[in-house]
Chain A
């Protein structure tokens, strides 16, 4: 239990920090790519339905759980969950709310450092005149790709600087650190995004190829194909996107709202921050990468190459087509907005740890932040050194994907079924500055857990390709004795390496699987180290209560 004097400075500051937590690199890079790969304009329908049936309920649940825990002086999920039930094991589910953040922060801060470097490089004009091959080469050199084991000196230095900035801001606390950054970063991010969106909307046809027009890109992104609505893959992709974009299932929202008093609103705050994230994603995020790339490289190129790395390997080339001055301005705006999107999220990822150790071990803010920095450095270095060995992706899969779904499923069951909807509904509506629609009560109790449960089960047992027809042929294959055709990214296949088999060494050389499995054991060790800390904290509480 805490004696913290931390608080938010203002309501707008809290909402901007909460929106900053949600707005991340994925708003500009993941959303448009997902839309392109999943039905274009039709993607928005399951996306909005998922937002209404899963996103908003989870936001309210997490805000309510956080404020409830804060009443008992708890600011991290292990003991927030512990307060909601007499069953002691729930606090160990709460460990996900610290572990996920630290795991994601470890590699996310590395990407954030790329955006910082690219902002400075853009400002210096280093990308002027560079073609796509040149940009590809620059990036590969920067992260030392091709070396097997990577030792990128400048990228390491940038990572250390970025991590230090994060740690310094976290050590300043909520209102003097995180809130202050959010109040500067969020308006700048929206301004930069709006500038790039306007550039995209007004560029139109460039004449570089027959379909080289930003309007062709926008059309591709928004052209509805209603036949795809019957495909469950599209729905799962949309639901997955809602998960990642709102930063639910992480423990950061609980932590931020745990500093609120019972009489103060959470329902309207949650809606405001949630829709602000939606604005950045749907209005700004959809207008930048895909349309501008189609404008200069054509639709075929984009369909073949759309992906996360376009941010670094393609965008500077596209900006260069606008002339050298605009290229510098657009480059700074683009990488600057990615940096702001990144840092407001990575700061949020640091707060559950900060809340936990300050509450349970009475560590000072400086000590908490410094030890977090050391832990993130230790967790982050393997993703840098063994980037090419698949360690980076392994972190992303377990901490940035699977853990989120497990924790969200656990928390919504706890809230709606163990804590109970009567008390839960009261927690959501207490002090509300808006009328919370009553139909959300059954949605939170039945629909949201079902929604997340389906996502979890389908991710667990996903058959090869994951289309509707693949599920039926997978069952046919299973019942005819030929086994289940696992998708490579299904959770079961990932755990047991069914498709690939376990081989740590080949021709006397360690395989990628060795590095992947080692990183998995390392993450497990980190998780159990946190479980141990929660156990120690729990024992301390018991002793203090005697």
Chain B
């Protein structure tokens, strides 16, 4: 592979992977809202 192609692939894929992980992690770490919220799995039984 040429250097410029390698730079493009590393920069682009690195950015996309980093953004995907960053936002998904942020979702997982976000505090849950008080009930009643939009999601039923955490509803009191």
Contacts and interface: CB of A to CB of B under 8 A. Distances in A.
Given A44-B12, A218-B9, A433 B36 contact: no
Interface in A244-291: 259-261, 263-265, 268-269, 271-272, 275-276, 278-279, 282-283
Interface in B13-45: 13, 16-17, 19-20, 23-24, 26-28, 30, 33, 36-42
Size class of the A contact interface (CB-based, 8 Å): 35 or more
A8 B39 contact: yes
A540 interface: no
Given A276-B20, A283-B13, A7 B40 contact: yes
Interface stretch (A10-18, A341-349, A370-378, A520-528): A10-18
A9 B16 contact: no
B43 to A, nearest CB: 9
Interface in A211-241: 215, 218-219, 222-224
Contacts of B38: 7-8, 11, 14, 259-261, 264
Given A272-B26, A279-B16, A9 B41 contact: yes
Given A218-B9, A223-B4, A223-B5, A268 B30 contact: yes
A458 interface: no
If over half of A's interface residues share one DSSP class (helix, strand or loop), that class is named, otherwise mixed; here it is helix
B39 A9 contact: yes
A434 interface: yes
B30 A265 contact: yes
Contacts, number: 101
A272 B24 contact: yes
A73 interface: no
Given A269-B27, A278-B19, A282-B12, A218 B39 contact: no
Of all A-B residue pairs in the complex, the 8 with the closest CB atoms, nearest first, are A272-B23, A222-B5, A41-B8, A279-B20, A223-B5, A433-B30, A9-B41, A260-B38
Interface of A: 7-15, 41, 44, 48, 175, 215, 218-219, 222-224, 259-261, 263-265, 268-269, 271-272, 275-276, 278-279, 282-283, 431, 433-434
Interface of B: 1-2, 4-6, 8-9, 12-13, 16-17, 19-20, 23-24, 26-28, 30, 33, 36-42
